[in-house]
Amino acid sequence: QVQLVESGGGLVQTGGSLRLSCAASGSIFSSNIFSISPMGWYRQAPGKQRELVAAYGRGRSTNYADSVRGRFTISRDNAKNTVYLQMNSLKPEDTGVYYCNVAIGPADYWGQGTQVTVSS
């Protein structure tokens, strides 16, 4: 059983910041597996498809959507099996439900999502 629990969402004004956290748990996880697993953050705005925001590939490589590059930073604490998304200079178009994703072998695991709302 794998569980991903996101937290840190909320309502913020334009230009504000939020830090999302995603804690992974389950018997499959060890710090070693977590540290080498591709993982990332996705978001889904109302009426739109889910899109990649930021992700780790294998190892330490990172990838960001053009719309967030320079404003958002993905990071991870392997000892805590937790991945973070620091979001700065937030814009109304960043509004949506943010989901954490971890890939282990052929399986994809998703969290329940956390709502981020940026008011203008």
Mean pLDDT of 7-16: 98
Q: From its phi and psi, is residue 89 left (phi > 0), alpha (psi between -120 and 50) or beta? A: left
**pLDDT of 31 above 70:** no
pLDDT of residue 1: 77
Separation of first and last alpha carbons in the chain:
40
Q: What is the mean pLDDT of the chain?
A: 93
Provide, rounded to the nearest whole percent, the portion of the chain with pLDDT above 70. Answer: 98
Which helix or strand (DSSP H or E) is residue 87 part of?
strand 82-87
Amino acid at 26: G
Q: CA 98 to CA 40: how far, in whole Å?
A: 10
Number of H helices and number of E strands within the chain?
A: 1, 11
Task: Express each pLDDT in 61-105 by its tens digit.
Answer: 899 999 999 999 999 998 899 999 999 999 999 999 999 999 988
Mean pLDDT of 41-49: 96
Of 51, 58, 36, 39, the C-alpha closest to 94 is: 51
pLDDT of residue 63: 94
